[in-house]
Amino acid sequence: MSAPKSVAYNRKLHRLVLADGMERRGDDGDNFLVHSADLEGMSPTELKGALKRAMDGGDIAVNVTHDDNIDEEYSVADPVSFRFTGGQLVVAVGYASDDYGDDAEANLALSTVLTPYLKRNRATLTRIEMDPYYVHPLIWNIDISCSVRGRDMADLFRIGEGALALLRAFESGKLTRETTLDLLRSGNAQVLVGQEEGPWLDVKVQHYDLQAQHGRISIAQAVSRFANAEHGGIVVVGMRGKKVPGGEVISSICPVPVDGRTLRQYQDAIEKHLYPPPDLLDIEVVPADGGSLVVLHIPPQPEELKPFLVHGAVVDGRVEGAFISIVRRRGESSIPITAPAIHATLAAGRALLRRGELPKD
């Protein structure tokens, strides 16, 4: 006996039927309302087939609510939903904005912000237009087409949520490591001006001197600070920081010169002075203010790779090439990993090798 479909359509009742037998009826005559938990394990292909059978001309939507008790009339729908239109299933995002700039310029700006994020998530922007029936705030209707290979509907919903978070960050300036990276890649580094440096963001106004040992050790230490930290981080070369009460903020963009050797020089310095190599370290050039920035992205690292060691140290301004330095990021500053912490890590590893178990203490 074949397993039930993750979602099917009951034509008689005009309801979606889930694999566990639960039914979701429409929130009006044309659309359906489901719970966000229903999306886990739901096949995009099977939902597309169900909606195709349910559609009676025009488009049909599947709205999503997080309310525990679903009420088709009173449940609050999420701004991320799904639409079956033109034979395609798309992620639909409703973005509310208080920006009353030129329509064409706003459309281009939003598209530019979203494109790198969507490309990274195997998705494309298929529609972005202002809703003519809303004035305050403005509502932008955005359709996203996603590759469904190896994904369920929950995955597609998260892509829509990420797009919405990125747009909100672009307008409000409230940023995360992920949205900051997307803004940099989309050429919107200006959004970062006025933002604080912090646990996951560090900026430098000009290139490290990679021809000198001091500069090579310094860039390796900059990367190791975030590799040894809990949440990873981003180093941006080509931005100026300014000290303010309570910390440091990004004050301006100062594009740096780049050529065909730039990225290779950064990579070589890190490879020669940092061990082990960080997982998925990304070094790239991004556009900014008619020039370029160098961005080093260090994702959160597996604990078993830590601590990351830098071959060489800068002590009182002097280069000590035979030293080993270990640093990590805390807040806006860097702190050395203590001798007891290093010893505990080494002792745990040796105990695991010798006895196959970690020390009880």
pLDDT, averaged per 10 consecutive residues of the chain (361 residues), comes to 86 92 78 95 97 84 93 88 95 88 82 91 95 85 97 97 91 84 90 87 96 93 92 96 90 96 96 94 94 97 90 69 61 48 61 60 53
pLDDT at 239: 97
Q: Which amino acid is at 13?
A: L
pTM: 0.75
Tokens of 135: 């004035």
Q: Is residue 219 assigned to a domain?
A: yes
Q: Are residues 137 and 202 in the same domain?
A: no
Q: Is residue 319 assigned to a domain?
A: yes
* Domains held by the chain: number: 2
Q: Is residue 360 assigned to a domain?
A: no
Q: Are 309 and 324 in contact (CB under 8 A)?
A: yes
pLDDT tens profile 265-276: 999 999 999 999
CA–CA separation, 50 and 168 (whole Å) = 33
Q: Are residues 209 and 152 in the same domain?
A: no
Cis amide linkage into residue 137, ω under 30° from 0: yes
Q: Are residues 54 and 99 in the same domain?
A: yes
pLDDT at 25: 84
pLDDT tens profile 173-219: 778 898 899 999 989 898 889 888 878 999 999 999 999 999 999 99
Q: Are residues 255 and 131 in the same domain?
A: no
pLDDT at 357: 58
Q: Are residues 258 and 334 in the same domain?
A: yes
Pairing status of strand 201-204 against strand 233-237? parallel
Q: Are 170 and 193 in contact (CB under 8 A)?
A: no
Q: Are residues 219 and 163 in the same domain?
A: no
Q: For the packed helices 44-54 and 153-172, what is the interaxial angle rounded to 10 degrees?
A: 90
Q: Is residue 151 assigned to a domain?
A: yes
Q: Are residues 31 and 160 in the same domain?
A: yes
Residue range(s) defining the domain that contains residue 280: 196-355
pLDDT tens profile 48-61: 999 999 887 678 99
Which of residues 120, 137, 172 is at a domain's end?
172
pLDDT at 336: 47
Q: Are residues 214 and 100 in the same domain?
A: no
Q: Are residues 251 and 157 in the same domain?
A: no
Q: Is residue 184 assigned to a domain?
A: no
pLDDT at 291: 95
Q: Are residues 210 and 113 in the same domain?
A: no
Q: Are residues 117 and 230 in the same domain?
A: no
Q: Is residue 178 assigned to a domain?
A: no
CA–CA separation, 62 and 352 (whole Å) = 52
Q: Which amino acid is at 99?
A: D
Q: Are residues 15 and 157 in the same domain?
A: yes
